[in-house]
Amino acid sequence: MKSKPIVLPGKVIIIKVQDKDHGFFARINTIVRDPYAKNRVCWLVNFTPLIPFKDWKIIDIQWKLNDEHIYGEEFTMDGIYHQLFKVDFPLEDVEEEPEVAPAKAKRRIVHGLKLVEKK
């Protein structure tokens, strides 16, 4: 089993379906331990699929997953294989600002004095 769970609230994951070529992105809304699970550690995972549905409505789905499933192990639902994968978004390239030569300091005129040019 992996050391860190893939399913964390607020994270975006990939849910692969049936084989490695099909799947969708989903945002994890909540993950709560199932208080009614007796024999195993189970989690109620509430997520929003990031794909369009009928009438462009946003829906929430809840799955009951075993402990090993939230760490990325393959599982089946109604005979269809699923697997959760972590999404690592690329870091933005931060453009470095070019160094600008320091501007010459403006001469300050002290009150009551006049600036005189040298001849």
Domain ranges of the chain: 12-86
Query: Which range among 49-53, 103-107, 113-117 has the greatest average pLDDT?
Result: 49-53
Tokens of 86: 């972590």
Strands (E) in the chain, as ranges, are 12-17, 23-33, 42-49, 61-66, 75-77, 80-86
Decide if pLDDT at 114 tops 90: no
What is the reported pTM?
0.67
54 φ, ψ to 5°? -55, 135
Average pLDDT over residues 86-110: 66
On average, the pLDDT of the chain sits at: 82
pLDDT in tens, 36-75: 888 888 999 999 999 877 788 888 999 999 989 999 899 9
Q: Which residue has the higher pLDDT, 87 or 107?
A: 87
Decide if pLDDT at 119 tops 80: no
